[in-house]
Amino acid sequence: MLLVVDVGNTQTHFGTFDGERLVEHWRFATVRESTADELGAALRNLLELRGVGLSDLTASIVSSTVPQLEPEWVAMAERYLGHRMLAVGPGLKTGMAIRIDDPRELGADRLVNAVAAHARLGGPCIAVDFGTAVNYDVISGAGEYLGGIIAPGVEISLDALTSRGAKLPRIDLIAPRTAIGKGTVGAIRAGIVYGFAAQVDGLIARIRAELGADAPTVATGGLAHVVVPCTESIDEVDDLLTLTGLRLLFERNG
């Protein structure tokens, strides 16, 4: 089986593939100080919950937005899985030309999402990832990575609002009942959810205008399920987009 690992700033999402079939996937909090041994123990424990052993993993690939954790995952694979883990970065075959000023600046997660979105939708297309940041990644009709937008994430914005506003409570992120809040909690919820939905629709409209095409858009990320129902411009939601992109990149480098 193939192990795919998406290390985000807040959560780490990983899964196992048998060919093109996703067998199982898990999420756990990203701890930046984790060692290779700690990652190996966490991986083993979660796999055992589904009756899978470390010896069943014959290959692996990692994408990390946390620089210090990439070498720890690679070391974990060498120590406990007995093979060299691929890491998304310079030198990896992507099948996608990168048309930005400095390709080295492109985050691994954004590249992975772009590859998966293009495989799913063709080009041109747009991928929107609701993670620690909200990333908008744009692919041309020729399958080239053109660039994108990085905006503060939903939870970052909510944290900033409630930490700087002494009387504002921390709230659960669920769909608001109305745009006009009847209390503080309702008002914050409407501002966050409808505010981000309006941001998404506005930015996608600008991207499509620059592309000169009504590019289909796929959303992913932990908070997509909260914001996307309030948008008008997202065509699909795929919670497993990044894991699929990692599988595709592994296959292109096999």
109 is catalytic: yes
**Based on the domain organization, do 14 and 63 belong to the same domain?**
yes
Question: Could you tell me if residue 102 is inside a domain?
Answer: no
Tally of domains in the chain:
2
Question: Could you tell me if residue 213 is inside a domain?
Answer: yes
Compute the distance between CA of residue 6 and CA of residue 222 in angstroms, rounded to an integer: 13
Residue 94, helix vs strand vs coil: coil
Instruction: Answer for the pair 77, 60: CB distance below 8 angstroms, yes or no.
Output: yes
Q: What is the CATH number of the domain that holds 214?
A: 3.30.420.40
Question: Could you tell me if residue 7 is inside a domain?
Answer: yes
Query: Of 43, 71, 87, which one is at a domain's C-terminal end?
Result: 87
pLDDT at 186 (0 to 100) = 92
Distance of CA 230 to the CA centre of its chain: 20
Hey, CA dihedral for 227, 229, 234, 237, is it positive or negative?
A: positive
Eight-class DSSP state of 80 = I
**Based on the domain organization, do 73 and 139 belong to the same domain?**
no
Range of the domain at 180: 122-240
**Based on the domain organization, do 30 and 83 belong to the same domain?**
yes
**Based on the domain organization, do 47 and 129 belong to the same domain?**
no
199: amino acid identity, one letter:
Q
pLDDT at 172 (0 to 100) = 82
Choice among 109, 129, 137, 238 that is catalytic: 109
Q: Smallest Cα–Cα separation from 89: which of 69, 109, 118?
A: 109
**Based on the domain organization, do 74 and 134 belong to the same domain?**
no
**Based on the domain organization, do 226 and 129 belong to the same domain?**
yes
pLDDT at 175 (0 to 100) = 86
162: amino acid identity, one letter:
T
pLDDT at 49 (0 to 100) = 87
Q: Smallest Cα–Cα separation from 107: which of 164, 72, 145?
A: 145
**Based on the domain organization, do 69 and 126 belong to the same domain?**
no
Query: Of 69, 87, 105, which one is at a domain's C-terminal end?
Result: 87
Residue that is written with structure tokens 């990203």 in the block: 30
Question: Could you tell me if residue 77 is inside a domain?
Answer: yes
Question: Could you tell me if residue 198 is inside a domain?
Answer: yes
Compute the distance between CA of residue 41 and CA of residue 46 in angstroms, rounded to an integer: 9
Query: Of 87, 113, 140, which one is at a domain's C-terminal end?
Result: 87
Cis ω before 229 (30° cut-off from 0): no
**Based on the domain organization, do 82 and 133 belong to the same domain?**
no
Instruction: Answer for the pair 77, 83: CB distance below 8 angstroms, yes or no.
Output: yes
**Based on the domain organization, do 8 and 68 belong to the same domain?**
yes
Question: Could you tell me if residue 103 is inside a domain?
Answer: no
pLDDT at 109 (0 to 100) = 94
Give the sheet arrangement for strand 2-7, strand by strand. 21-29, 11-18, 2-7, 59-64, 86-87
pLDDT at 189 (0 to 100) = 92
**Based on the domain organization, do 140 and 231 belong to the same domain?**
yes
Per-residue pLDDT of the chain (254 residues; tens, 9 = 90+): 999 999 999 899 999 999 999 999 999 999 999 999 999 999 999 999 888 899 999 999 999 999 999 999 999 999 999 999 999 998 899 999 999 999 999 999 999 999 999 999 999 999 999 998 999 999 999 999 999 999 999 989 988 988 888 778 888 888 898 999 999 999 999 999 999 999 999 999 999 999 999 999 999 998 899 999 999 999 999 999 999 999 999 999 97
Question: Could you tell me if residue 105 is inside a domain?
Answer: no
